[in-house]
Each structure stands twice: as structure tokens, then as C-alpha cells.
Amino acid sequence: QVQLVESGGGLVQPGGSLRLSCVASGFGFSTYTMRWYRQAPGKERELVATITSAGGTTNYLDSVKGRFTISRDNAKKTVSLQMNNLKPEDTAVYYCNAFRRMSLGWGQGTQVTVSS
């Protein structure tokens, strides 16, 4: 069965860093575009970052450009999101998603809280 398991969230101060990881299983990970989404309370889920199957192309939400970096390791079936210079507005539950023509599945999310 398809499984996506996020980890790495936590509480950090503004300006701090976190590295989120998503471990995939149950499907051909290396053939899927991987995405990180986030959702804050009372807000719509938004796409944060995308990486193509071979890792050659990445895209980011404007508000995180220059601060976040998405990467993947197809051998380990893992996609990561390095988050630097975190801001309070980055507080949200972060989810990973596998996509190829259609969404394959979602993880349960990992909570990121940025607060003084």
C-alpha cells in the first residue's frame, strides 16, 4: 500500500531552521513528482515546493524562495524540505504528496511551529 510518512517538524524560534523528511513506500517513487504542501489553521492548503522525478527541476512558493530547498533521494525513497530563516507565518502542518497525472497519496503531516 502507498505510504508517505513525514517527520522533522517541531518548535523553532524565528530565524531558525528545520529539515523535514518524507519517507515513501508502496509505489514507484522515482517516477513521481514530489510536492510539499502546508496548511495553517483557518487557511487553505498551499503548495510550498515541487521537485520532479529525477530532481532536475524545482519550484517554490514565492514566500519561501531563497529560504526553503526541496530535494530527493530516489534510492532512499525520501523527499526532504530544508527550511531556513523560518518565520512565524511558516507555522503550519506540512504534508508531502506524490503526483503523476494524478495525486497518488498524502502523508499525515508534520507540525511546524515558529514562535518566539
Q: Model confidence over 25-72: pLDDT tens digits?
A: 999 999 999 999 999 999 999 999 999 999 889 999 999 999 999 999
The answer, yes or no, to whether residue 91 has pLDDT greater than 90, is yes
Mean pLDDT value of segment 78-98: 98
Give 12's Cβ-side CA count (13 Å radius): 22
pLDDT given for residue 55 in this prediction = 87
Rounded-to-integer distance, Cα 37 and Cα 95, Å: 5
- Residue among 21, 44, 45, 18 at smallest CA distance from 114: 18
pLDDT given for residue 52 in this prediction = 96
pLDDT, mean over the chain: 96
CB atoms within 10 A of CB 15: 11
Cell 504534508 locates to 95
In one-letter notation, the amino acid at residue 94 is Y
